[in-house]
Homo-oligomer: A and B are copies of this chain.
Amino acid sequence: SKPNRKIDFGNRGKTLEDELNETNEFYLSRNLAVIHKKPVPIQVVKVDYPSRSSAVIREAYYRTASTTDYNGVWMGRYIDFEAKETKNKTSFPLQNIHSHQMEHMENIVANQGIAFLLVRFSTLNRYFLLPYQVLKSCWEDMNKGARKSISLNIFEDKGFELIPKAFPRIDYLEALEKMVHQIQS
């Protein structure tokens, strides 16, 4: 069930990426974790050199990311996650996740890293961490013909909710700690 909130810290039009940047900068400044968003991979085709010291890329293309959005270190542990937002109110569409991202997270978990999905239900102003293991079972069900989305109920039952606060608004390490504790026990 939805937890009580004394104050409702709305996202005020910020993207999830903006919110996570703010959080990650806070973690970095306090030595709580070092997590960065990976640059978008771009295939460069043509470069001009108008002067000796500068290069201008004149033709390039976005490539599909073969991994996830964010990775880094928390207490020596390797952390890896994909962050997604949806306007849906009752479920998260699995088409938002690519099969190569699933493969990447599978590899991470096989090497004892921590992989998860961080989802913002923007309309509801609710945030969840979903362990890769849960995502995987929904994904496999979908491939067997089941629903193509993860219902909010599953996030509530098997995910770890993150309650927005004043600053940093999206403080995901607390939920992460609970998640890791449960996976390890």
Q: Are A76 and B78 in contact (CB under 8 A)?
A: yes
CB of A168 within 8 A of chain B? no
CB of A77 within 8 A of chain B? yes
Q: Are B56 and A59 in contact (CB under 8 A)?
A: yes
CB of A73 within 8 A of chain B? yes
Bitwise, A11-44 to B at CB < 8 A (1) or not (0) is: 0000000000000000010011110101111101
| A43: min CB distance to chain B, Å | 9
Mark the stretch among A87-95, A107-115, A135-143, A146-154 that contacts chain B: A107-115
Mark the stretch among A60-68, A118-126, A159-167 that contacts chain B: A60-68
Q: Are B75 and A112 in contact (CB under 8 A)?
A: yes
| Further contacts, 8 of them, CB under 8 A, given A31-B110, A33-B111, A77-B78 | A34-B108, A34-B111, A36-B67, A39-B42, A42-B44, A56-B60, A57-B61, A60-B60
A-B contacts, 10 listed (Cβ < 8 Å): A42-B57, A54-B61, A56-B59, A58-B58, A58-B59, A71-B72, A73-B108, A73-B113, A76-B77, A78-B78
